[in-house]
Amino acid sequence: MKKSILIVLLSATALAACGDNEVAPPPASPSAVQEAPSAPSAEAIEAETVRINAWFSEKWEENLDFSPVFRTFLGQKKDNDKIDDFSEAAADEQLAWQKAAVEEMQSNFDYDLLSPEAKTSYDVAIYQYEQAAAAAQFRRRNYTFHQMSGPHSFLPNFLINFHRVESADDMRAYIARISGVSRAIDQALERAQLAAGEGVHAPRFAYEGVRSQAAALISGAPFEGEGDSPLWADANMKITALLEAGEIDETAAEEMRGAAQAALTSAFQPAYEALIAWIDEDIANSPEVATGVGALPDGAAYYTERLATSTTTAMTADEVHALGLSEVARIREEMEDIKDQVGFEGTLQEFFTFVREDDQFYYPNTDEGREAYLEAARQHLDFLNTKLPEFFGILPKADLIVKRVEAFRERDGGAQHYFPGTPDGSRPGIFYAHLSDMKSMPIPQLEVIAYHEGNPGHHMQNSIAQEVEGLPEFRNQASFTAYGEGWALYSELLAKEMGAYEDPYSDFGRLTTEIWRAIRLVVDTGLHAKGWTEQEAIDYFTANSPAASGQIKSEVQRYIVMPGQATSYKVGMLKIQALRAKAEAELGDAFDIRGFHDTVLSGGALPLAVLEQRIDAWIAGEKSA
């Protein structure tokens, strides 16, 4: 998971709410319908660009006021005692603000007087609003709580890992936010209940996952159960650190502990108990057989919107499905080659079984085995970091740490994921691994996943986007799943060019994750547009991948509750590959791989059609040079 999922969780609006394939056009601009004037002067362009960038900065600050939580992710401490408003009314307010901002931009700035980068900002602002408005129509079709994410797990994780406590005021803000989490859970629960009233009930496995996660958060001191609950343990650790640093005395520490305990027992616990009680009630309404959102009211239209948002293209479900079938067939041929290379005698399906089940491909299911997994990932990343200057001119400044997912939200076979650091580098990026079941974490896939989540994947892309100067802040923090996940998947193959995957089984692991993303195109559309059941999706996945059975089940259940998201990876990767091939063909010996990568990354996340325009402009500039 990347920043895209993070922003979905933080946005009240969103909470409510390729290759050679046709790509949706960028937003229409005034210049598209007006007769082109004479060429403006450089001075006029600079003046209008400075003016609109100042306006973007002003609007960015206004938008941040909707999300104190996102301010914290950015390393800011303004409103750090508050949690976002998760109500539908807040979603309406934010969408209305966004609409008014776009209308103000369109009426106050001359598109033809903007620099190329400022025109991109203008187009992206419109595109983001149109995405939000389209999603808002289906706000009650989302599963508010599910096993992959939701405010019930995200907000405690946010407090533990992202709310910095460096002073007594920071700790008081942390305690205030515990009560704020409770209010947010109540609001999210109300939204889930409104959706249920329209016939939208999460699958049973999703409810069971949420119930387990919620129960773990109110188990242990100061609640019933052994040990300390996650937030109580974290609060005590932060208070103790302040005490040892001399920021507070023992009296203040005891007062803080008492306040944290009161917030947990009087506010946090009742909210989570209410959530668990509702799940226990509504789970009876879950479908007996888990399928996709096509079965929901307006399900087909909802899935069309999800595909458009996830891929930033106009591809239909049938086109995505056909692309997936084609890619699965192609990658299987490459897998056959590696099977022959290692001397395995048998069919590809038998080789899948061998790689899936043989003990040599797994670390022990022990604490030592888990640490060995994390250390191996760190070593692979250290190796590839030495190769980065050969392929990139712009390098990330932010550090990256690799760590295990917190116990209260860890799931067997859960997808490894990434959280960005702060723009100022005060908090590093984090690559998380689910290690509760080491039989769901095959060694052949370890190397490629490290590159996907770290460098040159998500960490590099997100860090450079945040660090690059000259862009409006909303561009530094923009998120389009097809771009972000497409880049990370492109990075997996790029790492091979950089000298990775010396072990053929690791290269097979790379193909395993690539076919995994191709399978997603088939399975996601199968579930949500073709009426496939969960078991049919698992069967197709198993027949075409050596992924561990725990991974496969977890993945299919992820696709069911997050419609469309999984299609973004392959669509984005194929578009970036196609743009690179185009640049190589047109520039020949003048093609500069570092220049291409810097151009892709230095504009922040973009819709794929806008990215194509950016690369076309770079190609033209290289030709003229």
Domain boundary pick from 234, 258, 285: 285
- pLDDT reported for residue 15: 39
CA distances from 598 to 224, 237, 424, 574, 614 (A): 53, 41, 20, 18, 11
Enumerate long-range contacts of 226-229, CB under 8 Å, 24 or more apart.
Answer: 229/264
Enumerate long-range contacts of 74-77, CB under 8 Å, 24 or more apart.
Answer: 74/422, 74/423, 74/477, 75/164, 75/422, 75/423, 75/424, 75/426, 75/427, 77/164, 77/170, 77/173
Q: For 436-458, what is the mean pLDDT?
A: 94
Compute the distance between CA of residue 249 and CA of residue 331 in angstroms, rounded to an integer: 62
DSSP state of 609: H
Tell me the percentage of the chain whose pLDDT exceeds 70: 94
For residues 230 and 249, membership in a common domain is answered with yes
- pLDDT reported for residue 416: 85
Helix axes 593-601, 568-587, angle to 10 degrees: 140
Compute the distance between CA of residue 618 and CA of residue 587 in angstroms, rounded to an integer: 11
For residues 156 and 128, membership in a common domain is answered with no
Q: For 180-185, what is the mean pLDDT?
A: 97
Beta carbons of 302 and 562 less than 8 angstroms apart: no
The H or E element spanning position 419 is strand 417-419
Residues facing 400 on adjacent strands: 429
CATH code for position 181? 1.10.132
Is 129 a domain residue?
yes
Domain boundary pick from 238, 256, 285: 285
Compute the distance between CA of residue 281 and CA of residue 589 in angstroms, rounded to an integer: 66
For residues 121 and 196, membership in a common domain is answered with no
Domain boundary pick from 239, 263, 285: 285
Tally the domains of the chain.
2
Examine the pLDDT at 525 and tell me if it is beyond 90: yes
Examine the pLDDT at 193 and tell me if it is beyond 50: yes
Compute the distance between CA of residue 281 and CA of residue 318 in angstroms, rounded to an integer: 37
Examine the pLDDT at 611 and tell me if it is beyond 50: yes
Is 330 a domain residue?
no
User: Two tokens at 29?
Assistant: 């601009």
- pLDDT reported for residue 24: 38
Examine the pLDDT at 398 and tell me if it is beyond 80: yes
DSSP state of 440: G
Is 483 a domain residue?
no
Beta carbons of 558 and 415 less than 8 angstroms apart: yes
Q: For 294-321, what is the mean pLDDT?
A: 97
Q: For 189-203, what is the mean pLDDT?
A: 97
For residues 163 and 209, membership in a common domain is answered with yes
CA distances from 346 to 351, 475, 504, 540 (A): 7, 51, 17, 20
For residues 128 and 234, membership in a common domain is answered with no
- pLDDT reported for residue 35: 54
For residues 7 and 126, membership in a common domain is answered with yes
User: Two tokens at 557?
Assistant: 């259940």
- pLDDT reported for residue 37: 56
For residues 158 and 128, membership in a common domain is answered with no
**For 95, phi and psi rounded to 5 degrees?**
-65, -40
CA end-to-end span of the chain, whole Å? 39
Q: For 13-18, what is the mean pLDDT?
A: 36
Is 227 a domain residue?
yes
Q: Cα dihedral sign for 286, 287, 291, 295?
A: negative
Q: Cα dihedral sign for 172, 174, 180, 185?
A: negative
Condensed to tens digits (0 to 9), the pLDDT of residues 153-173 reads 999 999 999 999 999 999 999
Q: Which residue is associated with the tokens 């005590």?
A: 236
Lowest-confidence pick of 26-30, 447-451, 461-465, 558-562: 26-30
User: Two tokens at 58?
Assistant: 């002003």
Q: For 203-222, what is the mean pLDDT?
A: 96
Is 60 a domain residue?
yes
Residue 413's pLDDT band (boundaries 50, 70, 90)?
confident
Is 63 a domain residue?
yes
Residue 118's pLDDT band (boundaries 50, 70, 90)?
very high
**For 36, phi and psi rounded to 5 degrees?**
-65, 125
Condensed to tens digits (0 to 9), the pLDDT of residues 275-300 reads 999 999 999 999 989 999 999 999 99
Polymer length in residues for the chain = 625
Examine the pLDDT at 625 and tell me if it is beyond 90: no
For residues 157 and 131, membership in a common domain is answered with no
- pLDDT reported for residue 421: 87
Q: For 346-350, what is the mean pLDDT?
A: 95
Is 394 a domain residue?
no
Lowest-confidence pick of 34-48, 225-239, 343-357, 445-459: 34-48
Is 225 a domain residue?
yes
For residues 170 and 88, membership in a common domain is answered with no
Examine the pLDDT at 14 and tell me if it is beyond 70: no
Average pLDDT, the chain: 92
Compute the distance between CA of residue 296 and CA of residue 146 in angstroms, rounded to an integer: 16
For residues 255 and 163, membership in a common domain is answered with yes
- pLDDT reported for residue 425: 81
Amino acid letter for position 235: A
The H or E element spanning position 432 is strand 429-433
Q: What residue numbers bound the domain in which 118 lies?
A: 3-143
For residues 170 and 48, membership in a common domain is answered with no
For residues 233 and 131, membership in a common domain is answered with no
Q: Which residue is associated with the tokens 């400022």?
A: 118
Residue 424's pLDDT band (boundaries 50, 70, 90)?
confident
Tell me the percentage of the chain whose pLDDT exceeds 90: 86
**For 357, phi and psi rounded to 5 degrees?**
-115, -20
Cross-sheet strand order for the sheet of 429-433: 400-404, 429-433, 417-419
| Torsion-angle region of 248 (φ positive above 0: left; ψ -120 to 50: alpha; else: beta) | beta
User: Two tokens at 194?
Assistant: 């409104």
